Amino acid sequence: VDSFKVLNVLISKNDLNRDKLKEPQDKPGIQTVVSVLSANLDRADVQEAGIALVKTASTKSEALKAAFMQHGGVGPIKSAFELHLDNPKLLREVGATVHVLTNADDYSTMLSKVFDTAKDVAAAGLLPLIYTALRKHMSDPLVLKELFAAMKGCSVQD
């Protein structure tokens, strides 16, 4: 958890550090993040810190958005809704991250994969899970804001 938090600070303070997550290595950093998230689906603290890292890293980075999805990132996102429905803080992070992942920074369909990401999110069955979370947290405007933003990102892509 602390490693995710440190990486998040390093990335948010210096854009050059973001590239370290996608550099060619034996195992790119974003793949490691997805692996850790996938191995700790039941731990809300790990999910929250990892999903926040993905959100920060993917903002304004088409390559990291695509890499996160390519390495199976939709699995931890889906599990967060399924396993941690009662955790508003985690759901805010997940909603914000889905919004970032489905928000095109480059509107050229040749370059942006977010249009495919929105379809992948829908195909994975996340929209009904988002609806359930919306109903569960109707009295929490911060959760609603992020979940509606996530739905918005998925709704206008096709």
Residue-wise pLDDT for 62-83, tens only, equals 888 888 998 999 999 999 999 9
- Does position 158 have pLDDT exceeding 50, yes or no? no
Q: Which of 157, 42, 18, 49 is nearest to 99 (CA)?
A: 157
Chain mean pLDDT for the chain: 84
Percent of the chain with pLDDT over 70: 78
